[in-house]
Amino acid sequence: MSVFWNSKRKVYWSTFTRPLLFLVLCLFCASSCQEAPEEIMTDQDQEIEQKIDSLLALMTLEEKIGQMSQVRHFADIEEGDVASKFIGSVIHTDGPTPGEGAAGWQAKFTELQEEALSTRLGIPLLLGVDAVHGQNTFAGATIFPHNIGMGATGNAQLVEEAAAITAKEVQATGLNWTFSPCIAIPYNDRWGRVYEAFSESTELTEQMARASVRGHQGELSDQHTVMATAKHYIGDGATDYGKEGGPTTLDRKEVFERLLPPYRAAVEEGVGAIMASFNTLHDILMHSHKEMITDTLKGVMGFDGIVLTDWKGYSRFGENDVINAGVDMVMAVDGDLPKFQEGLTKAVASGYVKMDRIDDAVRRILRQKFRMGLFENPFPDSTLIASIGAAAHRDKARQAVRESLVLLKHENNALPIAKDSRKIVVVGEHANNSGLQSGGWTVTWQGKAENYPGATTILEGIQSQATGEVVYDADGTGEHHDADVAVIFVGETPYAEFFGDIQHDHSRDEYLYTLNETHQQYINAYAGKGPKVVVVLISGRPLVVTEQIDQSDAFVAAWLPGSEGDGVAEVLFGDHNFSGKLPHSWPKAVEDVQGRFGPNYWDDSIEPLYELGHGLKW
């Protein structure tokens, strides 16, 4: 099934007053976001609430604050701390791996789970990970295209299937919670997390958010599903000038009409958690934004799951004001655990944080643990290990690669490339490097600049399909002008967050937002010198490549395809036609991306080179 945006629409409005805003929000959410009255709760829901009541009545303040604490397994705790500090959640991030292979990972998380179950009340752990395009922290897992590529597919069913596969491989490594999907609406492509979001289109993002939550969570108590997290609430992709954690100054009407709908969709699908964002919204830190978290998300929208901080959110964004705003669980990492637990204990004693707020937070955490069936089945299923990187999973990822590719330009019958071409020259390091083709959040937080286990490079895919000669010119020497076709790979190196690897011209104080000189030379070495030129851009966002598009016979936006690089080759050789459509407007010139927002779906003051939804077939 394929979903895509409607024809391009423009809406303009003035800032609304707060009372009118609340009325608009109520009307906006009323049809589907109200909390269900207790009398129509299911028997299972009622049973869970009764269990929570019984458990809360037994808990001390120390045990409650422990449940609100999330730590890293290797950095924030020592042996015995899970039990003695009543830890509610453990996460895996960059750093030492939990063990040798998936069995070692399961063994480590089982050990931590057993420690949690040894406490007086035996409350199991939530075990979280940033699995944002597959179980990307585990070398050998199936890695899907990043969300920008999944958005380009327009295929919600495929997004759901990819999320279900991700969930299964996450469970296979011993974890039960993922911090995904990112459902931001990027306004400026300089933002370093553009590739984590599906699209600048609210409508498309809404569809993909629903699909991702359904795929990850399925029947939440099943042991091959995980709890999903919608992030980052709210306005993270719409900061001025694309600054990570900067100010979001969109007027209130824009926030509720453009940024909120994907969160409403996620709530309607029963998403288990929502993560607060680093940015400010109307000069208020989002982590401390009670109006948006308690009043809007939990109140009007009826969200009954866990609101989670981002990294060190307690100490960075207001300490106990974060709790009073409605945050339920704290990433108490990098030394924050004592600060959080002691600080919140004192705040409750002084009356600054009310016990009702603590009970609400713990109720939400326990509710998800009961829904996930962790009290009955707290341990990972060892039989799932065989599913990691399974052929069927990789087939689905290869399909995602094929459908994500967007053909921006096509002339001179450059595509499809004949498999029996006498000679094909493949140019550039991105062609033969699975780390570069996968981007950030792959094996490590910032990604890898080298190959990793289990992945297939694009060059390997080309070599496996071509019946004629394939020559690899990694450095773009231009020594193969006798080739029938030059397939030239250019793009970005892996990054996560901030401004990525965009070059900054300090003399003009401008972000150049272009290919580096080396990659420009790769194209210069072959353009107009004999072979037909097919350029493939590997990037986490649109770049200013107008000149390079003009030099090419065909130009392909391949985004960050992940572990199955042979999916790119299958389309280049014509086994499948192009079907991807741009999930973002494409900038024409560097000048167009210097302002508060780049060219996008919402702003017609700048004419893009290609509009949202552009995509050719050969």
Token readout for 288 is 């401390």
The residue-averaged pLDDT of 243-255 equals 93
Confidence of residue 502 (pLDDT cuts 50, 70, 90): low
- Assigned domain for 371 exists: no
pLDDT of residue 506: 47
- Assigned domain for 459 exists: yes
62 Cβ contact list (under 8 Å, min separation 6): 86, 345
Looking up tokens 């299972």, which residue turns up? 44
- Assigned domain for 564 exists: yes
CATH number, domain of 445, equals 3.40.50.1700
- Assigned domain for 607 exists: no
| C-alpha to C-alpha distance for 152 and 199, rounded to whole angstroms | 8
pLDDT of residue 606: 85
Q: Identify which of 542, 525, 528 has the alpha carbon closest to the alpha carbon of residue 599.
A: 542
Tally of domains within the chain: 1
Lowest mean pLDDT among 341-350, 586-595, 598-607: 598-607
pLDDT of residue 596: 77
pLDDT in tens, 383-399: 999 999 999 999 999 99
Catalytic residue among 169, 196, 310, 473: 310
Looking up tokens 């009356």, which residue turns up? 351
The residue-averaged pLDDT of 581-594 equals 90
Average pLDDT of every residue of the chain: 91
Q: Identify which of 313, 294, 286 has the alpha carbon closest to the alpha carbon of residue 68.
A: 313
Q: Rounded to the nearest 5°, which phi and psi values hold at 259? A: -95, -30
Q: Find how far residue 200's CA is from the centre of its chain.
A: 14
pLDDT in tens, 315-334: 999 999 999 999 999 999 99
Catalytic residue among 291, 497, 603, 604: 497
pLDDT of residue 39: 46
Looking up tokens 């707060």, which residue turns up? 18
Tally Cβ neighbours within 10 Å of residue 441.
Answer: 27
The DSSP code for 90 is: E
Is the pLDDT reported for residue 602 higher than 90? no
pLDDT of residue 597: 77
| C-alpha to C-alpha distance for 13 and 17, rounded to whole angstroms | 12
pLDDT of residue 118: 98
Confidence of residue 5 (pLDDT cuts 50, 70, 90): very low
Is the pLDDT reported for residue 16 higher than 90? no
CA quadruple 91, 192, 256, 278: dihedral sign: positive
The residue-averaged pLDDT of 198-220 equals 97
Tally Cβ neighbours within 10 Å of residue 492.
Answer: 23
pLDDT of residue 188: 86
pLDDT of residue 48: 97
- Assigned domain for 577 exists: yes
pLDDT of residue 256: 96
The residue segments making up the domain with residue 514 are 389-593
Q: Identify which of 578, 577, 572 has the alpha carbon closest to the alpha carbon of residue 424.
A: 572
CA atoms within 13 A on the CB side of 117: 15
553: three-class secondary structure by DSSP: coil
The residue-averaged pLDDT of 12-39 equals 39
- Assigned domain for 63 exists: no
pLDDT of residue 590: 86
Q: Identify which of 383, 241, 364, 354 has the alpha carbon closest to the alpha carbon of residue 304.
A: 364
- Asked if 136 and 441 touch (Cβ cutoff 8 Å), the reply is yes
Token readout for 594 is 């210097």
Is the pLDDT reported for residue 604 higher than 90? no
The residue-averaged pLDDT of 294-311 equals 98
Is the pLDDT reported for residue 22 higher than 60? no
Is the pLDDT reported for residue 277 higher than 90? yes
Q: What do you get for the CA distance between the two ends of the chain, in Å?
A: 22
The residue-averaged pLDDT of 447-454 equals 95
Looking up tokens 């420690």, which residue turns up? 115
pLDDT in tens, 550-582: 999 999 999 999 999 999 999 999 999 999 999
pLDDT of residue 18: 40
- Assigned domain for 401 exists: yes
Token readout for 149 is 């590529």
| C-alpha to C-alpha distance for 131 and 149, rounded to whole angstroms | 16
CA distances from 24 to 18, 185, 288, 300 (A): 10, 20, 23, 11
- Assigned domain for 156 exists: no
Q: What is the dihedral of CA 127, 130, 135, 137, to 10 degrees?
A: -100
| 310 catalytic residue (yes or no) | yes
| C-alpha to C-alpha distance for 284 and 120, rounded to whole angstroms | 40
Confidence of residue 56 (pLDDT cuts 50, 70, 90): very high
